[in-house]
Amino acid sequence: MNTSTPSEALRAARDPWLDAVRGVSVLAMVLGHTLDLTLVSGVREHPLVVLYWSLRGLTAPLFLVIAGWALVSSFGPGDPGVVGRRLRRAALVLALGYGLHWPGLSAALAMANEGTLWPHLLAFDALPCIGWCLVAGVLLLWLFPRGEGRIGALGTLAIWIPFAAALASSVVTGAGWLWRGLLGHPEAHFPLLPWSGFFFLGAALCLLVARLGARRHRAMALLLAGGLLLLLLERTDLESWTPGSPWPVFYRMGQVMLVLGILCLARVERLPGLLALGRNSLGIYVAHLVLLYGWAGGQGLGARWERDLPPAGAVGLALLVLGASFGLARMVPGALDWLERTASPTWVQPPRDG
C-alpha cells in the first residue's frame, strides 16, 4: 500500500540531476544580474571580470536548453493528463512574464495616451520566450507521439531556427512591434528567432541522451558533441559574430553542451542546495527580478546601488537576493494552499424532515 502524499510522489519522480542543473542556471542568473547592475565601474575592465562577462553569456542559453530538456522529461508514458498540465504551466510562465512588465497605473495611463502601452506589456524577454516555447513544444510532442518522430522534429527545429533568424534579420527592421518578438528585432531581448533554438536543442538532447545508459556515456556524448561543434566552427572560419549571422547561436550551443557534460560528470545532484534552488527556479527567477529591478513603478535594489559596489559587496548582495528570492518562492505555494483551504466553501447538509 502506497502511503506517500502526491507532493512526495512528484518529488520522487523528478530527475535530481536536472533539478541541480536548473539550480546552477538560476544561481548564475541571479549572480549575473546583480553584478551587472551594481558592480562599480572601475573594476569592469579587469581581465577576470571581462572573462566572467564572456562566460556569463552562457547563462540564458543554458536556462532555455534546460527548459526544453525538462519539458520532454516530464512527458512520461501512459500519462493522459500531461498535456493539460504542461499547457497550464506554460500559461503560468506567460502570465508571470507579461505581468512583470506592468509599469504601474499612472505610468500605464501615460503610456496608453502615447500608444506605447501594449508594445511595452507584450515585449519579449526570457519568460515570454520560454512560455511560448513550452506551448510549441507541448504541441509538437502531442503531434509526434513516437520517439523517432520527436527527435526528428525537435532536432530539425534546433538546427534550422538559427538560419531562419538570419534570414528574418533582413526584413525585421520594417516589421511592426507585434512581430519583433518573433523575428528578432534588435530591441527584443529574447525573440523566438533564434532563442527558441536553444529550447528545442535541450528537448532533442533529452531524447538522445536518454538512450545512453551509463552516466559516463551521457557525459562523453555531450562533451564530444559540444567539442566537435566548436572545433568545426573555429577550424572552418565559420565563427562570425556579425549581426544576423547564425553561427553565434551554434557556438553557444556547443558551449552549453560542454557545460552539461561537465555537470554530468560532476554529479551536481549530490549538492542539496542546488536541488532546492532547481525545484523553486521559476519562483526564484521572478522574485529576484522584482527585488533587483523593481515592479509597477517601484524601484529595486539595483537602483539603490547602481554601479556602486565593489566585487565583494556585489557578490554579497547577490547572495542576499538569492536567499530572499528562495524564501519568497517557498512561501508562495504554501500561501496559495492555505488560501485554497480557507476560501473553499463548506457545505452543510440540511437536516432531514421526520
List, for residues 80-105, the tens digit of each pLDDT value.
788 899 999 999 999 999 999 999 98
pLDDT in tens, 123-158: 888 899 999 999 999 999 999 988 889 999 999 999
Residues contacting 354, CB < 8 A, separation 6+: none
- Measured CA to CA, the distance from residue 108 to residue 338 in angstroms comes to 32
Q: Is residue 175 very low, low, confident or very high in pLDDT (cuts 50, 70, 90)?
A: low
Query: Does 150 fall in a domain?
Result: yes
Q: Considering its fold, how many domains does the chain have in total?
A: 1
- Measured CA to CA, the distance from residue 151 to residue 165 in angstroms comes to 21
Query: Which one-letter amino acid corresponds to residue 59?
Result: T
Query: Does 331 fall in a domain?
Result: no
| Burial of residue 133, with CB atoms counted within 10 A of its CB: 0-12 exposed, 13-18 middle, 19 or more buried | buried
Query: Does 333 fall in a domain?
Result: no
Query: Does 306 fall in a domain?
Result: yes
Query: Does 332 fall in a domain?
Result: no
- Measured CA to CA, the distance from residue 174 to residue 335 in angstroms comes to 46
Tell me if 94 sits within 8 A of 60, measured CB to CB.
Answer: no
Burial letters 20-49, b for 16+ CB under 10 A, else e = bbbbbbbbbbbbbbbbebbbeeeeeeeeee
CA 45 from centre of chain: 28
- Measured CA to CA, the distance from residue 22 to residue 257 in angstroms comes to 14
Query: Does 351 fall in a domain?
Result: no
Query: Does 348 fall in a domain?
Result: no
Which residues span the domain enclosing 222?
12-323
Q: Is residue 9 very low, low, confident or very high in pLDDT (cuts 50, 70, 90)?
A: very low
Give SS3 for 80.
coil
Query: Does 347 fall in a domain?
Result: no
Q: At what angle do helices 192-209 and 215-235 cross, to 10 degrees?
A: 140
